[in-house]
Amino acid sequence: MPPTTALSGADTAWVLISAALVMLMVPGLALFYGGLVRSRSSLNTFMMSLAPLAIVSLQWVLFGYSLAFASGASWIGPLSWLGFSGVGTAPNATYAATIPHVAFAMFQAMFAIITVGLIAGAVVERMKFGAYLLFVVLWTTLVYDPLAHWVWGDGGWLRTMGALDFAGGTVVHISAGVSALVAALMLGRRHDASRTVAVPHNVPFAVVGAGLLWFGWFGFNGGSALAANEIASSAFMTTHTAAAAAMLTWMLLDLRVSGHVTAVGAATGAVVGLVAITPAAGFVTPLSAIAIGAIGAACSFGAMQLRGKTKVDDTLDVFACHGVGGISGALLTGVFASKAVNPAGADGLLYGNPHQLLVQATAVVATLVFCGGMTAIVLQAMRMTVGLRIGIADEVRGIDVAEHGEAAYHGGDIGELGGRRVPLGQSVLLPASEILPPVKAPVVAPAGATAGATR
């Protein structure tokens, strides 16, 4: 017997707010990524994060949502909801029985938007912007939509098997992480990757961006309950707890390895904790969330250290953060999940059900193989047709000017002070005569002259 449907104002309001919170993560990601790159490529990085807002939003309404969520085959949805046909204000008993169907559809759109934006962090500073726009369409259609159907769609084979992914550990983070790694390998290293250390040009941007991501993640995970209820409250709590545990763990590891607690490290640790808890948020206790955040941070930290010893140029370590963090979280869901927290879930290894860990591992492997393989096919087809990389000369002068015809700052990496061209961020002491206008001696009027005669 199908579940009954009845609109709830509270549930609807919570999902709409959550959708807006997830949308806020997009500029948050732009700030986070944009602050970590060099100034000459910061605008391009911002645009790679923001462009999916336009492209994926339209793709989702036209056919993407139908491919991902329409009931049908175990591998892909049919086009029965083409152009949002049949997606109206009435509830949908299969996915959201207490909110308008269109609210659920737009909440899910935000996930699709930010997922492909995550991949950009691996290829910034060298990928043609036009090629990236094409990649956004192709990857969302051929990779994200089928995977979302597998895990969340009615009839999807991983959902039927019992794989748990509360808010996107496999669908969002593992898919983006492994696709980012493949993209970094296929595009190759930046021309100066082995000769220079590309330090972040604006650490405050990155820290503020991480804060916005943390804030938006309450909607990302809490909203995935699709109701203003006890599961949403639990997910809200575990989200925050895991991020805090991961941030502290990363700071301690940073101190141990480098002797310093860096702001970039602290921000990265918080994001990794949010990634790790995503698949488990609605299925675990707060104490389990602490363990997941700490373990996820340790795994990602180790992966980042290992990547630094290779020749892989994953610019912003997307695989180490999202790929490894997502894998850790998905597997740990199979360890810590408890039906006492969410009866609609399953018990994990610690609660007497080792089979759930096997199911989670199967979902992880399937995601890695499918997303990695399909991303390689998409990029190879693009390489043979439109090309992927900008030229070396454009890399040298900066992709912002080469691809967008503008710079984030006056002169790009070079500013002007007192007539001298100096690198931005450097303090330069100039003589006062080069900064202040010369002082002219006042003209003294002859005795007895009127004010009008003074020159």
448 is written with which tokens?
Answer: 């007895």
Q: What is the pLDDT of residue 435?
A: 38
pLDDT band at 419 (very low <50, low <70, confident <90, very high): very low
Q: Are the CB atoms for 109 and 60 separated by under 8 Å?
A: yes
Lowest mean pLDDT among 15-29, 195-209, 250-264: 195-209
Helix axes 101-119, 9-36, angle to 10 degrees: 10
pLDDT band at 439 (very low <50, low <70, confident <90, very high): very low
Taking 80 as the threshold, does the pLDDT of residue 433 lie above it?
no
Q: What is the pLDDT of residue 4?
A: 65
3-state secondary structure of 177: helix
φ, ψ of residue 339 to 5 degrees: the values are -70, -15
Taking 90 as the threshold, does the pLDDT of residue 11 lie above it?
yes
Q: What is the pLDDT of residue 454?
A: 29
| 126-184 residue pLDDT tens | 999 999 999 999 999 999 999 999 999 999 999 999 999 999 999 999 999 999 999 99
CA 304 remoteness from chain centre: 17
d(Cα 405, Cα 44) in Å, to the nearest integer? 10
CA 226 remoteness from chain centre: 21
pLDDT band at 3 (very low <50, low <70, confident <90, very high): low
Taking 70 as the threshold, does the pLDDT of residue 76 lie above it?
yes
Taking 90 as the threshold, does the pLDDT of residue 445 lie above it?
no
Distances (CA, A) of 155 to 141, 160, 389, 441: 19, 6, 39, 87
Distances (CA, A) of 329 to 17, 89, 247, 295, 336: 25, 34, 15, 9, 10
Q: What is the pLDDT of residue 432?
A: 42
CA 7 remoteness from chain centre: 32
d(Cα 32, Cα 212) in Å, to the nearest integer? 9
Q: Residue 278: count other Cβ atoms within 10 Å of its Cβ.
A: 33
Mean pLDDT, range 402-427, rounded to an integer? 58
84 is written with which tokens?
Answer: 């949002």
3-state secondary structure of 67: helix
Mean pLDDT, range 96-101, rounded to an integer? 95
Q: Are the CB atoms for 250 and 272 separated by under 8 Å?
A: yes
% of the chain with per-residue pLDDT over 90: 83
| 304-334 residue pLDDT tens | 999 989 999 999 999 999 999 999 999 999 9
Q: Are the CB atoms for 67 and 87 separated by under 8 Å?
A: no
81 is written with which tokens?
Answer: 């909801």
Helix (H) or strand (E) holding 415: strand 414-417
% of the chain with per-residue pLDDT over 70: 88
Looking at every residue in the chain, the average pLDDT score rounds to 90
Which of 3-12, 66-75, 88-97, 177-186 ranks highest by mean pLDDT? 177-186
d(Cα 334, Cα 222) in Å, to the nearest integer? 20
Nearest to 279 by CA among 115, 119, 151: 151
Q: What is the pLDDT of residue 197?
A: 67
Nearest to 142 by CA among 416, 337, 371, 362: 371
Helix (H) or strand (E) holding 420: strand 420-423
Q: What is the pLDDT of residue 427?
A: 40
d(Cα 147, Cα 144) in Å, to the nearest integer? 5
| 103-137 residue pLDDT tens | 999 999 999 999 999 999 999 999 999 999 999 99
Domains of the chain (ranges; CATH) run 9-404 (1.10.3430.10)
| 233-254 residue pLDDT tens | 999 999 999 999 999 999 999 9
